[in-house]
Amino acid sequence: MDVEVRIRGLMMDPSTNMPIVVLKDVGSDTVMPIWVGVFEANAILIEIEKVSAPRPMTHDLTKNLIQYLNARLERVVINELRDDTFLASLWLRQGGEAVMVDARPSDAIALALRADCPIYVSEQVLQTARLNPHGQPEGPAAEQLRGWLEGLNDEDLGRYKM
């Protein structure tokens, strides 16, 4: 079973200075952070802020290729957490056939924003990686991160709040 999520915010991790995409379950208060690279965060930010580039960026090109091949991106799914690395898939429909393509979560999210399609996280991944205000995280690092994310308000997320 997959759980629909939305981007709650895009921010910098204060301890690592790495960008974090904060995903939130649409049906609960559960949040799940995904650390991404600077370039990937920029691709997500460009679409969040609706900045247009003079030439197509990589994710714009991918979206255009999907359209030109008479396909449609139906959803993206963050479907696995292996060795502290998230894995994702793109679910396309072309000519009545469902096609799944392996992707990095950051690329899948950037493409989902451009294609205006839903983002899902598998229930198993969400249970493993979630930060739930009502749940009990494991270990001191998880507790510190949970406290930090729980304490965020709209001003902390600034203009990146969606």
CATH superfamily ID and name for 2-151: Bifunctional nuclease domain (3.10.690.10)
41: pLDDT strictly greater than 50 = yes
Domain ranges of the chain: 2-151
Residues in the chain: 162
Residues 99-115 pLDDT 10s: 999 999 999 999 999 99
Q: Classify burial at 134, counting beta carbons within 10 Å of its beta carbon; exposed 0-12, middle 13-18, buried 19 or more.
A: exposed
What is the pLDDT, as a whole number, of residue 77?
98
Give the residue from 63, 74, 61 showing the smallest Cα distance to 118: 74
Instruction: Determine the Cα angle at 13 with ends 7 and 18, to 5°.
Output: 90
Q: How far apart are CA 122 and CA 86, in angstroms?
A: 11
Which of 58-67, 101-110, 144-153 is least confident?
Answer: 144-153
